[in-house]
C-alpha cells in the first residue's frame, strides 16, 4: 500500500482557506450534535424500551424506589457514557497511531495492546486473582497492565531496528501480538473456570459499566486525550515524513514517544473498562477524515473522538436491544455496522482521484 | 436498596489498598504508575468508594478456606431450616446472610433452574431464567433474563428478585454489579464433581426453602445413599472387568472428558475406566488420538429428538472415527446431553443408566429411594 494513499492522507496543499476552515468547523459541530442525539436516543433502548417522555418522568418526577429508575440511572446512563468515552479513547488512539506509523492499517490493537491485555486478563481469570483498586477488579487491572506491557515490549524490541522504523515497529507489534494470542489460547485450553466469561470479555462488553468506572475512565481519557490535541501540529508535520518534520521544527523523537505513550494509555484504559472492542480504533479515524474532508489533525482528533463515541454508543444500543434481554458482543456489532461504512468511504474517496 | 430478608454479608477477606498499589507498582511502567496513583488519590476522595469495594467480588484465600470448612457441615440441612439466620459462603468465596425465605428467585444457569424445580420450589417463585433453561419443560415458559455469560442486568433488576442464584461461570464483573445494585447474589458451584451434588442441593434448599419438602428430602437422601452405594459397587468389580469408556458429544466429535471432569467421575462410579488420561479436564482430541484409543465402550451424548442411527452414521464419517470398532459394533451407551453436561438432580439416574449399560450382567445397587426426580434418560 502506498504511503501516500488517500486513507493515510497528507496535509492539504497550501494554506487552508478561511471558508474551508469554517466548513470543517461546521461539520465538526454537526458530529457533536449527532453524538448528543445518539446518546440521548440510545437511553430508550434495552431490556425494556423507555419512551423519551418516560425517561423524563423517571429522572425528574418519580420516586426513587421504582426499579425502572434504578435501571435508567444506575445501568443505562453510565453504560451510554462509558460507551462514548471508550469509543473516543480508541478512536483518538487510532488516529495517533496512524500518524505515527504513516500507515492506514495501524490501530491500537495492531501494536499489541489487545493481545497483551487479553493474555493478562485471561491469566487473571484462570488464576482466580483477587484484588481491587478503586472500581477495578483484578481482571481489568490485569488487562491494563498487559496492554502497557505489550506496548513496552514492542517498543523495546523495535528500538533495535535502525531502518524502516515505523514498519519495523508494526511488524514487531503484529508478531508480539500473535505470541500473546497463542499463549491466551493455550491458557484457555488448560483452564476450567471462567473460560466463557473470558471469551465474552475478549469480544468486548459494556455491561459492567457503573459510575465509579465511568469517572475513572473519564479521567483517563481527559488525561491522555487532551494532551493529544496539543500534538496536532506535530502530527500534521509527521505526515510529511520524519526529515521534513524535523526541518520544520518538530522534535520528532520526543513527539513519537509521546504519541506511543498517550495512545497506549487510551487503548489500555478502554480495554480495562470493557474488554476488547475491535476495529473502532482502526476504522474511525478514516471515517472522521472522510466526513470532515481533511487530514488536519486539529479536526481529525476531535472528529475521531465524536465519531468513535457515536459508533460505540449506537453499536451498544443495538447490541442490547436487538435480541433483548440477551446481548450481542459489542465488538461484533461495531465491526458489522462500521466496516461497510468504511468500505463505502474508501471507495468514494478512491473514485474521486 | 437493601432487601429485608437476605443481605450481602460483610466480606471475610480483603486486600489493603497499599498492598494492591505495591503489587501494581511492580508491573506497570513509571508513567502509568504515577497516573494511577493520582487517579487513586482522587478516587479515594469520593464517598462511594467503600460501598463499591464492599459490594465487590473477590476470591480471597481466607474465604476459600471457609468454604472448605463449611463443606463438612453443610452436607444435609433439614428441609425447613431456611428460616434460621445464618451466614453462608458461596462458590466464589462471598458471603450471604440467609434470612427469610425468598419469594422471587432469579436463576442464572440451566443447572440451577433444574435444581430449583427438582427441589420442589414453586414455579411462581422463579421470576427469571436464562434462555438456555429448557428443563423441565415448565422452565421454557418463565421470563428470560438473557444468557449465562451475558445476563441482562436491566432484566434482572426489573424482575425484582430477592435472591439471584449465580454459578461459577457467571462473569465475576456481573456479580459485582448485581451486588452493587443491592441484589442478593449467591454463586453455586455447578461444575463440581458428583460427590458434591448432595451438598449443592442442600445449599440451594437452605437458601430457597421448598414448597414440597417431601420431594426435596427424598432427592437429597437419594444422593446421600445412592452415590456411596455406587462407589462400593464399582469398587467391588475386579479391575480386569472394568471397560475402558470414551466419552464423546457427537455434535463436537473432537471434545472429550478427562480426569477432573464430572463425566470422569460418572464413568468411574458406573464401573468403567476413562479411556482419556492426562491432566486436562476437557481435552480436544486429534483424529489420530481417536483412532488409537480403541475403547471398549463409547459414552455418547444424545439430544432428544435426534435419530441415533443418523448420529452414529454421521460420527463414523468424522476423521479418526472411521475405524472405531466400538462405534461399528454398536458398543455404545447413550445418555441425554443435558443430563451429562449439567451435574445435578438427574445425574443419579444417568449413573444408573450408564452402570446398567456397562455391566448388564451385574445386579445394580438396590434402589435406595423411590422418589427420584423425573428424568429424561434415553430408554
Among the ranges A179-193, A319-333, B37-51, which has the highest mean pLDDT value?
A319-333
* CB interface of B with A, residues 109-148, below 8 Å: 131, 144-148
How many A/B residue pairs have CB atoms within 8 Å?
A: 166
CA dist list (Å): A107 to A32, A104, A175, A342, B106: 23, 8, 15, 14, 41
For the CA atoms of A58, A63, A67, A69, what is the dihedral angle to 10 degrees? 30
B171 interaction partners in chain A (CB closer than 8 Å):
197, 200-201, 208
Q: Which residue of A has its CA nearest to B25?
A: A145
B285-313: average pLDDT: 88
pLDDT digits (tens, 9 = 90+) for A87-123: 999 999 999 988 888 878 788 877 788 788 888 888 8
Tell me if B321 sits within 8 A of B327, measured CB to CB. Answer: yes
CB contact under 8 A, B169 and A197: yes
B36 interaction partners in chain A (CB closer than 8 Å):
133
Of the pLDDT bands very low, low, confident and very high (cuts 50, 70, 90), residue B371 is very low
- Distance of alpha carbon A274 from alpha carbon A291, whole angstroms: 27
Q: What is the CA radius of gyration of chain A?
A: 20
| Beta strand segments in chain B, E | 7-8, 86-89, 95-98, 105-107, 126-128, 163-167, 185-188, 244-248, 273-274, 297-302, 332-336
A212 interaction partners in chain B (CB closer than 8 Å):
43, 46, 48-49, 52
pLDDT digits (tens, 9 = 90+) for A211-266: 888 988 898 889 889 999 999 988 998 888 888 888 888 888 888 888 888 888 88
Q: What is the pLDDT of residue B6?
A: 40
- Distance of alpha carbon B206 from alpha carbon B98, whole angstroms: 8
Tell me if A317 sits within 8 A of A47, measured CB to CB. Answer: no
CA dist list (Å): B375 to B130, B213, B348: 21, 19, 10
Q: What is the pLDDT of residue B63?
A: 35
Tell me if B152 sits within 8 A of B145, measured CB to CB. Answer: yes
| Residue predicted with more confidence, B121 or B323 | B121
* CB interface of B with A, residues 79-108, below 8 Å: 93
CB contact under 8 A, B171 and A148: no
Asked if A205 reaches chain B (Cβ–Cβ under 8 Å), the answer is: yes
For the CA atoms of B164, B166, B170, B172, what is the dihedral angle to 10 degrees? 70
Min distance B367 CA to chain A CA atoms (Å): 34
pLDDT digits (tens, 9 = 90+) for A118-169: 888 888 877 767 676 666 667 777 888 888 888 888 878 877 765 556 677 7
CB contact under 8 A, B260 and A192: yes
Judged against a pLDDT cut of 60, whether residue B27 lies above it is answered with no
* CB interface of B with A, residues 283-342, below 8 Å: 284
Judged against a pLDDT cut of 50, whether residue A319 lies above it is answered with yes
CA dist list (Å): A170 to A154, A339, B84: 9, 22, 63
Q: Which residue of A has its CA nearest to B31?
A: A261
A337-344: average pLDDT: 83
Q: What is the pLDDT of residue A193?
A: 55
Q: Which of A309, A245, A239, A249 is nearest to A281 (CA)?
A: A309
Of A141, A219, A326, the CB nearest to B24: A141
Tell me if A173 sits within 8 A of A110, measured CB to CB. Answer: yes
A206 interaction partners in chain B (CB closer than 8 Å):
none
A125 interaction partners in chain B (CB closer than 8 Å):
172
A152 interaction partners in chain B (CB closer than 8 Å):
29
Asked if A51 reaches chain B (Cβ–Cβ under 8 Å), the answer is: no
The pTM of the full predicted model, rounded to 2 decimals, is: 0.74
Is the ipTM value over 0.90, yes or no? no
Q: Is the bond leading into A206 cis (omega within 30 degrees of zero)? A: no
Tell me if B15 sits within 8 A of B60, measured CB to CB. Answer: yes
Q: What is the pLDDT of residue B36?
A: 38
Of the pLDDT bands very low, low, confident and very high (cuts 50, 70, 90), residue A196 is low
| Residue predicted with more confidence, B347 or B14 | B347
Min distance A76 CA to chain B CA atoms (Å): 8
CB contact under 8 A, B173 and A139: yes
Q: What is the CA radius of gyration of chain B?
A: 23
Of A47, A133, A189, the CB nearest to B152: A47
- Distance of alpha carbon B72 from alpha carbon B187, whole angstroms: 18
Among the ranges A300-309, B49-58, B146-155, B257-266, which has the highest mean pLDDT value?
A300-309
Amino acid at each position: 500500500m502506498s504511503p501516500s494513499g488517500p486513507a493515510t492522507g497528507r496535509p492539504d496543499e497550501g494554506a487552508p482557506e478561511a471558508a474551508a476552515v469554517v466548513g470543517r468547523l461546521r461539520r465538526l459541530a454537526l458530529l457533536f450534535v449527532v453524538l448528543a442525539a445518539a446518546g440521548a436516543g440510545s437511553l430508550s433502548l434495552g431490556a425494556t424500551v423507555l419512551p423519551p417522555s418516560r425517561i423524563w418522568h423517571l429522572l425528574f418526577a418519580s420516586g426513587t424506589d421504582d426499579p425502572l429508575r434504578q435501571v435508567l440511572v444506575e445501568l443505562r446512563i453510565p453504560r451510554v457514557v462509558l460507551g462514548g468515552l471508550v469509543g473516543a479513547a480508541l478512536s483518538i488512539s487510532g488516529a495517533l497511531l496512524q500518524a505515527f506509523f504513516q500507515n492506514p492499517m495501524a490501530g491500537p490493537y495492531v501494536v499489541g495492546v489487545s493481545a497483551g491485555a487479553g493474555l493478562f486478563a485471561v491469566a487473571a481469570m484462570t488464576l482466580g486473582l483477587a484484588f481491587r483498586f478503586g472500581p477495578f477488579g483484578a481482571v481489568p487491572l490485569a488487562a491494563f497492565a498487559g496492554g502497557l506491557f505489550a506496548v513496552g515490549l514492542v517498543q523495546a524490541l523495535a528500538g533495535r531496528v535502525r531502518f524502516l522504523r515505523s514498519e519495523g515497529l508494526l511488524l514487531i507489534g503484529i508478531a508480539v501480538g500473535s505470541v500473546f494470542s497463542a499463549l491466551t489460547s493455550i491458557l484457555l485450553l488448560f483452564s476450567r473456570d471462567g473460560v466463557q466469561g473470558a471469551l465474552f470479555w475478549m469480544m468486548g462488553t459494556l455491561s459492567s459499566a457503573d459510575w465509579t468506572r465511568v469517572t475513572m475512565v473519564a479521567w483517563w481519557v481527559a488525561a491522555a486525550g487532551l494532551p493529544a490535541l496539543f500534538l496536532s501540529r506535530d502530527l500534521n508535520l509527521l505526515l510529511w515524513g520524519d526529515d521534513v518534520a524535523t526541518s520544520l521544527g518538530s522534535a520528532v523523537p520526543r513527539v513519537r514517544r509521546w504519541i506511543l505513550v498517550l495512545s497506549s494509555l487510551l487503548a489500555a484504559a478502554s480495554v480495562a473498562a470493557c474488554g476488547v472492542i475491535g476495529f473502532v480504533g482502526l476504522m474511525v479515524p478514516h471515517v472522521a477524515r472522510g466526513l470532515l474532508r481533511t487530514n488536519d489533525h486539529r479536526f481529525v482528533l476531535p472528529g475521531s473522538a465524536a465519531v468513535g463515541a457515536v459508533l460505540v454508543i449506537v453499536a451498544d444500543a443495538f447490541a442490547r436491544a436487538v435480541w433483548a434481554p440477551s446481548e450481542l458482543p459489542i465488538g461484533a456489532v461495531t465491526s458489522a455496522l462500521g466496516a461497510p461504512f468504511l468500505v463505502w468511504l474508501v471507495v468514494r474517496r478512491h473514485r474521486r482521484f | 436498596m437493601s432487601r429485608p430478608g437476605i443481605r450481602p454479608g460483610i466480606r471475610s477477606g480483603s486486600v489493603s489498598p497499599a498492598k494492591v498499589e505495591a503489587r501494581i507498582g511492580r508491573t506497570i511502567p513509571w508513567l502509568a504508575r504515577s497516573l494511577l496513583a493520582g487517579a487513586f488519590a482522587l478516587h479515594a476522595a469520593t464517598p462511594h468508594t467503600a460501598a463499591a469495594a464492599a459490594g465487590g467480588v473477590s476470591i480471597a484465600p481466607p474465604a476459600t478456606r471457609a468454604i472448605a470448612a463449611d463443606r463438612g457441615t453443610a452436607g444435609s440441612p433439614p428441609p425447613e431450616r431456611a428460616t434460621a439466620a445464618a451466614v453462608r459462603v458461596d462458590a466464589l468465596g462471598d458471603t450471604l446472610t440467609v434470612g427469610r425465605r425468598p419469594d422471587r428467585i432469579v436463576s442464572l444457569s440451566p443447572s440451577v433452574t433444574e435444581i430449583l424445580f427438582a427441589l420442589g420450589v414453586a414455579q411462581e417463585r422463579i421470576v427469571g431464567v436464562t434462555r438456555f433453561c429448557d428443563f423441565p419443560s415448565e422452565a421454557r415458559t418463565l421470563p428470560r433474563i438473557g444468557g449465562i455469560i451475558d445476563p441482562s442486568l436491566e432484566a434482572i433488576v426489573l424482575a425484582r428478585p430477592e435472591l439471584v442464584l449465580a454459578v461459577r461461570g457467571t462473569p465475576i464483573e456481573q456479580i459485582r454489579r448485581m451486588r452493587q445494585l443491592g441484589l442478593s447474589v449467591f454463586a453455586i458451584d455447578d461444575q463440581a464433581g458428583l460427590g458434591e451434588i448432595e451438598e449443592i442441593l442442600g445449599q440451594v434448599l437452605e437458601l430457597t426453602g421448598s414448597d414440597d419438602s417431601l420431594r426435596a428430602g427424598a432427592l437429597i437422601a437419594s444422593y446421600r445413599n445412592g452415590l456411596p452405594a455406587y462407589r462400593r459397587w464399582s469398587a467391588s468389580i475386579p479391575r480386569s472387568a472394568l471397560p475402558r469408556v470414551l466419552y464423546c458429544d457427537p455434535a463436537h466429535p473432537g471434545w472429550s472428558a478427562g480426569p477432573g471432569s464430572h463425566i470422569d467421575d460418572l464413568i468411574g462410579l458406573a464401573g468403567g475406566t476413562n479411556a482419556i488420561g492426562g491432566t486436562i479436564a476437557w481435552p480436544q482430541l486429534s483424529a489420530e488420538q481417536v483412532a488409537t484409543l480403541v475403547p471398549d465402550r463409547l459414552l455418547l451424548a444424545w439430544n432428544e429428538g435426534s435419530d441415533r442411527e443418523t448420529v452414529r452414521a454421521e460420527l463414523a464419517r468424522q476423521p479418526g472415527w472411521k475405524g472405531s470398532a466400538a462405534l461399528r459394533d454398536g458398543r455404545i451407551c447413550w445418555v441425554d446431553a443435558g443430563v451429562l453436561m449439567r451435574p445435578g438432580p438427574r445425574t443419579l439416574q444417568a449413573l444408573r443408566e450408564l452402570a446398567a449399560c456397562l455391566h448388564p450382567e451385574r445386579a445394580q445397587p438396590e434402589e435406595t429411594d423411590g422418589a427420584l426426580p423425573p428424568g429424561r434418560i434415553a430408554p
